[in-house]
């Protein structure tokens, strides 16, 4: 029953059979489970044009990506679809505080909230503006603490 219901929702016959049979740890029930899953799948496809999840998306009129990419995008790669960032806003793995400051300044009056982290020409990650600002503040605090510690060490004892 559970396998038939799961199959009706997800429309994955073989995967559901394997999952249920492995959970029960009895491969002797495979034919029975396969029969119930097949019947459930046929009934579901007779009633619904799409799977349960897709029906919910349609009924609630939620926006979703089409399963096929439009033909006009076939020759494009991800780099072609992104807006151009100023070169100063692209960070490396071990960017200095000055580089981070520059990246934050050149994008201050723009909607940029994410900064790519590059290793050569490869993007290895993305860092959000609040994280960069927090790192800048933390670096400033650690710098102030080290200067204060140096000042205390240099102060003559009374």
Q: What are the pLDDT digits (tens) for 113-152? A: 888 899 988 889 898 999 988 988 888 765 555 555 555 5
Which one is predicted more confidently, 154 or 47?
47
CA-wise closest residue to 2 among 42, 26, 33: 33
Q: In the structure, what pLDDT confidence band is assigned to residue 9 with cuts at 50, 70 and 90? A: low
> Where does the chain have alpha helices with state H?
2-10, 13-24, 30-47, 52-59, 78-81, 97-106, 129-154
What is the DSSP code (8-state) at residue 73?
G
Q: What is the mean pLDDT of residues 55-62?
A: 83
Instruction: Output the pTM of the full model.
Output: 0.44
| CA–CA distance, 33 with 20 (Å, rounded to integer) | 8
Give the domain 78-153 fold: CBS domain Like (3.90.1280)
Are the beta carbons of 92 and 119 closer than 8 angstroms? yes
Tell me what pLDDT residue 11 has.
65
Domain limits, CATH 3.90.1280, in the chain? 78-153
């Amino acid at each position: 029953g559970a396998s038939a219901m799961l199959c009706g929702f997800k429309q994955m016959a073989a995967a559901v059979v394997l999952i249920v049979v492995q959970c029960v740890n009895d491969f002797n029930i495979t034919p029975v489970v396969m029969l119930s899953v097949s019947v459930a799948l046929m009934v579901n496809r007779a009633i619904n044009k799409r799977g349960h999840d897709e029906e919910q998306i349609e009924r609630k009129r939620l926006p979703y990506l089409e399963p096929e990419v439009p033909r006009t995008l076939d020759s494009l790669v991800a780099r072609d679809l992104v807006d151009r960032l100023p070169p100063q806003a692209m960070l490396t793995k071990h960017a200095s505080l000055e580089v981070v400051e520059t990246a934050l300044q050149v994008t201050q009056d723009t909607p940029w909230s994410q900064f790519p982290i590059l290793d050569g020409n490869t993007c290895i990650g993305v860092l959000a503006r609040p994280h960069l600002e927090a790192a800048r503040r933390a670096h400033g605090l650690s710098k102030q603490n080290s200067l204060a510690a140096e000042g205390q060490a240099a102060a003559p004892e009374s």
